[in-house]
Amino acid sequence: MATIKKGILERLNAREVVIGDGGFVIALEKRGYVKAGPWTPEASVTHPEAVRQLHREFLRAGSNVMQTFTFYSSDDKLGNSTEALKITGTQINEAACDLARQVASEGDALVAGGVSQTPSYLKCKSETEVKAIFKKQLEVFVKKNVDFLIAEYFEHVEELEWAVQVLKTSGKPVAASLCMGPEGEMHNVSPGECAVRLVKAGAQIVGVNCHCDPMTCVKAVKLMKEGVEKAGLTAHYMVQPLGFHTPDCNCQGYLNLPEFPFALETRSLTRWDAHKYAREAYKAGIRFIGGCCGFEPYHIRAVAEELAPERGFLPAASEKHGMWGASLEMHTKPWVRARSRRDYWEHLLPASGRPMCPSLSTPDT
């Protein structure tokens, strides 16, 4: 069946919506398989059933992309986390590819091999050394024949350019995604300039992920698009934001919020927030729309449901979900029945139940 699937570029060229998946490390931390701090993906080897299950939930929710659970799985990052386990980065990456492929083959999803920023870059290692790390990861992805590649969660556009330059050698489509808001990348490179550099480096898809909330990320991608178009270039656009409301976080992202990473609950998106996000991203011309940390399967389902009119179909998980609360129609209490309509949920301003807590925080620095 995989052989007849359309590739990522075919889909995007046809202006189809491609729905990404959500955040694995935050979800699996709560499920007991990832340690906050290191955030490494050894569960691909040690607890494959847990990783597989999360892939399946995203697939059911409508994801067209099974991103290999290989976040932070370069050898320079894994270090102590997996040493005692005697697991290598290559083992993790291979196992992750197999899990993603297995689930992707159960539906209409592609496998994307994923790389992320490296400690080596931050330690000022040379371009050669950093590229060698990406090359090693790429070898696994080529061997396992992933459908395309995503270089995601990069704070520095220079390192991301290097990653793209390595990944494009495979001949597979490359998506490149930075962590940034509309102010641009940390060293004050504007979103437009970042996008142009990434396209020139060889990325066919560019965008942002993590660090900021949905509306902030969409704004940043809009600026990328403007920059690319102004430069007379073309690209596809992706966005995979936080599943949290973070209007108070500065350009360094939600890591600086006092609630990170163990008290973010109150900031979580509702499914209705995810609806609004999906519409906004679509209107901005973005066609690869997914999520990052905090995006759970039901948020992805909401994205798929919001864009069902455009796509013409609902995801599998919608068999267990009435659109806009429709499943409450038969409730015995009339005031709960009254919640079975779009207007209700679209306008609800949910209370926190925490009157001792503020609405916004001051970011740490």
List the structure tokens of 57: 């939930």
Residues numbered 125-184 forming contacts with a second copy, rule: CB under 8 A? none
Based on CB atoms, which residue is closest to a second copy, 234 or 332?
Answer: 332
Among 264, 214, 261, which Cα is nearest to 240's?
214
- Round to whole Å and give the CA distance between 286 and 292: 16
Candidate segments 99-107, 127-135, 219-227, 333-341, binder of a second copy by CB under 8 A: 333-341
What minimum distance in Å lies between the beta carbon of 171 and a second copy? 35
Interaction between residue 313 and a second copy (CB under 8 A):
no
Which residue in 217, 232, 346 sits closest to 284, CA to CA? Answer: 217
58-77 residues near a second copy, rule: CB under 8 A: 60-61
Window 201 to 220, contacts with a second copy (CB under 8 A): 213
Q: How far is the CB of 72 from a second copy (least distance, A)?
A: 13
| Sheet containing 110-115: order of strands | 18-19, 288-289, 236-240, 205-209, 174-178, 148-154, 110-115, 65-67
Tell me how far, at minimum, the Cβ of 202 lies from a second copy, in Å.
29
Piece in contact with a second copy (CB under 8 A), picked from 98-106, 232-240, 305-313, 315-323: 315-323
Site for a second copy in 228-287 (CB under 8 A): 244-248, 255-272
Q: Quick one: which of 191, 140, 141, 183 has its CA closest to 160?
A: 191
d(CA 216, CA 209): 10
Cα–Cα separations (whole angstroms), residue 209 to 161, 288, 308? 16, 11, 23
Is 335 a residue that touches a second copy (CB under 8 A)? yes
Identity of the residue, 287 or 301, whose beta carbon is nearer to a second copy in the bound complex: 301
In whole angstroms, the minimum distance from the beta carbon of 299 to a second copy comes to 9
Q: Smallest distance, Å, CB 229 to a second copy?
A: 25
346 lies in the site for a second copy, by CB under 8 A: no
Structural element, H or E, at residue 336: helix 334-337
Contact call for residue 365 and a second copy (CB under 8 A): yes
Token pair recorded at residue 7: 């590739």
